[in-house]
Amino acid sequence: MGTNKTSTETQFEERIAKVRVRFISKLADTVLTVDAAFPHLTGDGDDAIKAVASTYRRFHDMAGISSTIGFDATGRVARTLDALLAGPFRERRGLRDDELAELKEGLGALQMAVLMEIQPKD
């Protein structure tokens, strides 16, 4: 049986490839933005509440799209970070020290997952 692709399948694959490229470029921005937000993520003031909400949304969105476009490991890490931030987000509070440490560790895991997934497959 042949593996001839239809024009529609080819167009779909090209679109997914473009989405993947945009996703990868946004990941770098996300990592830098979250890293810069660390000093603002603790405490109970409005600054911390807004920083947690923004960071939560970033990982929530990332978790939603990652697996769809073939970034399964990235999606798993993003879901873990989403879950970590969900409580503080819903409770409208900043992160505790242990949560901040877990977020920092998770951000490193996210970077590793992305690097592994963008490596060319042999």
5: confidence class by pLDDT, cuts 50, 70, 90: confident
Q: Are 29 and 61 a contacting pair, CB within 8 Å?
A: no
Specify the higher pLDDT residue, 90 or 4. 90
Report how far residue 33's alpha carbon sits from residue 58's, in angstroms, rounded to the nearest whole number. Answer: 10
| Partners of 87 in beta bridges | none
Question: Quick one: CA dihedral 95, 80, 87, 64, positive or negative?
Answer: positive
Tens digit of each residue's pLDDT (9 = 90 or more) over 39-68: 999 998 999 999 999 999 999 999 999 988
User: What pLDDT, in 10s, does the model give residues 6-35?
Assistant: 888 888 888 888 888 888 888 888 888 999
| CATH fold group of domain 11-116 | Four Helix Bundle (Hemerythrin (Met), subunit A) (1.20.120)
| The pLDDT value given to residue 3 | 59
Tell me which residue of 105, 114, 32 sits closest to 71, measured CA to CA. 114
How far apart CA 53 and CA 92 sit, in angstroms, is 8
What burial class does residue 109 get, using C-beta atoms within 10 Å of its C-beta: 0-12 exposed, 13-18 middle, 19+ buried? Answer: middle
